[in-house]
Amino acid sequence: MRKRIVIGNWKMNKTPKEAIELCRLLKDKVNVSDVDVVFCPPAIDLVPVAMELEGTNIKLGAQNMYHAEKGAFTGEISPLMLRDVGCEYVILGHSERRTYFGETDRGVNRKVISALEHNLAPIICVGDNNRQRQQGLAMDVISIQVKDALLSLDSEQVKKIIIAYEPLWAIGTGLSATKEHAQEVCGKIRDIVKDLYDIETAQTMRIQYGGSVNGDNASDFFSCEDIDGGLIGGASLKEEFEKIVKCS
Ligand code: PGA
């Protein structure tokens, strides 16, 4: 039985002071033990958020990292730094990083390998854009993203990974995928992992849906066989996040 996981991707929102306020608003409401709840604030908020979350079950995650441990990489943040402040998860290959910052599948793979080496669970984002969807290429694109992200990993490593299916046309648009569509793609992602590894690995790995998930539609997604939770953007910044966590 896979444990559900609901992740709040705060994106580039909340100053350190505002981040503390948001933690105070949410932490008692989403401090549950039957679901893994993860807050992924901006890097500069990680330390104050870690302090606020002390004594709760809520886990800390980052929104990105560089694969190297240290060195002349101005502006980057390393897995050692993330571990040192208490991160257990890291989002990798989010579509906004791929679109605005030129992240590639190979670069994501390097980060995934490094994250696992440093005991950080990668949350790998994959998804099709509107054009790819209209041309019927969605599953081809997603399949390449999944396979490239997992290159050279063994099954024990893959079991620790979370894959988030996030269609670009659903992110921040208010137009979520239907639960049927989300289930179909998440099921196919599990099949890809089964073909690459084995049934046990595929059945252990957690797969999420993300893209305009809110308090009203979350339970639809979470009722699907192959959807083990959600990666939540906008709604993770509001009290509504409680409703999403509680229906998972
Ligand atoms: P959204 O973002 O929930 O605001 O659509 C999801 C994401 O990008 O992770």
Other beta carbons within 10 Å of 14? 19
pLDDT of residue 143: 98
Residue 115 CA to ligand 1 centre (angstroms): 22
Q: Tell me the CB-side half-sphere exposure of residue 126, using CA atoms within 13 A.
A: 29
Answer for the pair 149, 155: CB distance below 8 angstroms, yes or no.
Answer: no
Which residues are within 8 A (CB) of 136 and not within 5 positions of it... i.e. 6 or more apart? none
* pTM, to two decimals: 0.98
38 closest CA partner among 238, 246, 231: 231
The arithmetic mean of pLDDT across residues 165-183, rounded, is 95
Q: Is the pLDDT of residue 219 over 90?
A: yes
> Given this model, what pLDDT does residue 189 score?
98
For the packed helices 46-53 and 16-26, what is the interaxial angle rounded to 10 degrees? 30
pLDDT of residue 5: 98
Find out whether 244 and 214 touch, Cβ atoms under 8 Å. yes
* Closest-lying ligand 1 atom to the alpha carbon of residue 236: 3
What percentage of the chain carries pLDDT values higher than 90?
A: 99
- The CA 101 to ligand 1 mean position distance, Å, reads 17
Structure tokens at 42: 């901006």
Which atom of ligand 1 is nearest the CA belonging to 214?
Answer: 3
Q: Whose CA is nearest to atom 9 of ligand 1?
A: 233
- As a whole number, mean pLDDT of residues 38-67 equals 98
Rounded (5°) CA angle 21-26-28: 120
39 touches 23 (CB < 8 A): yes
Distance from residue 70's CA to the centre of ligand 1 (Å): 30
